């Protein structure tokens, strides 16, 4: 994960903004414009787009990056840029699968909790949560523990 979008956990083109509000539509107006476009920067150019690339110029081409690198890949070498683009397609597919699995897991977990509480049981079972935390820690280390905590919270809500 070499570029900022991947490091932030938000893949380019996902429709998710860094503030979590989702895709922006053309119906909203950016401050200072009135036509729904982004305002110009101090140098007369449009700011970068949400995917880290510069917007197209009036003739339909992408502007130069200034360092010879292809926009969005960070390299000017065509073979490397093509390989990066291929890899990112797969990363985006994996991200979509992870999102779908996350949502399915959270729904199943909520159903387990609701079923347990409806039958007079407790809201959660700490031994089960500890088992999940340990499984993720063993497989993924400290980051696994953090991931498991997020998964558990998505299914049962905050403690």
> Would you kindly state where each structural domain of the chain is located, as residue ranges?
77-159
Instruction: Tell me what the pLDDT averaged over the chain comes to.
Output: 74
Gap between the Cα atoms of 77 and 62, Å rounded? 17
CA–CA dist 92, 139 (Å, integer):
23
28: CB partners within 8 A, 6+ apart: 36
Tokens of 41: 């920067």
Residue 107 token pair: 């729904």
CATH code of domain 77-159 = 1.20.59.10
* Residue 9 CA: distances (Å) to CA of 5, 96, 140: 7, 12, 17
**Residues 17-62 pLDDT 10s:** 334 444 444 444 444 444 444 444 455 544 554 555 445 555 555 5
Q: What is the pLDDT of residue 58?
A: 56
Asked if residue 117 has pLDDT above 90, the reply is yes
Residue whose structure tokens are 């490091």: 7
Q: Dihedral (C-alpha) 34, 39, 43, 46: value to the nearest 10 degrees?
A: -120
Q: 10 or 80, which is more confident?
A: 80
Residue 102 has pLDDT above 50, yes or no: yes
Outline where the chain has alpha helix (H): 4-7, 78-118, 126-140, 142-156
Q: What pTM was estimated for this model as a whole?
A: 0.56
């Amino acid at each position: 994960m070499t570029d900022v979008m991947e490091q932030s956990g938000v893949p380019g083109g996902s429709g998710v903004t860094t503030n979590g509000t989702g895709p922006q539509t053309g119906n909203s107006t950016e401050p200072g414009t009135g036509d729904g476009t982004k305002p110009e920067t101090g140098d007369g150019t449009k700011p970068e787009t949400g995917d880290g690339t510069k917007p197209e110029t009036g003739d339909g081409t992408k502007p130069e990056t200034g360092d010879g690198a292809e926009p969005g890949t960070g390299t000017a070498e065509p073979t490397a840029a093509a390989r990066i683009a291929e890899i990112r397609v797969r990363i985006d597919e994996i991200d979509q699968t992870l999102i779908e699995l996350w949502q399915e897991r959270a729904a199943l977990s909520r159903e387990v909790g609701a079923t347990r509480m409806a039958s007079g049981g407790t809201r959660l079972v700490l031994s089960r949560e500890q088992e999940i935390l340990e499984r993720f820690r063993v497989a993924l280390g400290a980051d696994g523990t953090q991931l498991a905590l997020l998964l558990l919270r998505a299914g049962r809500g905050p403690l």
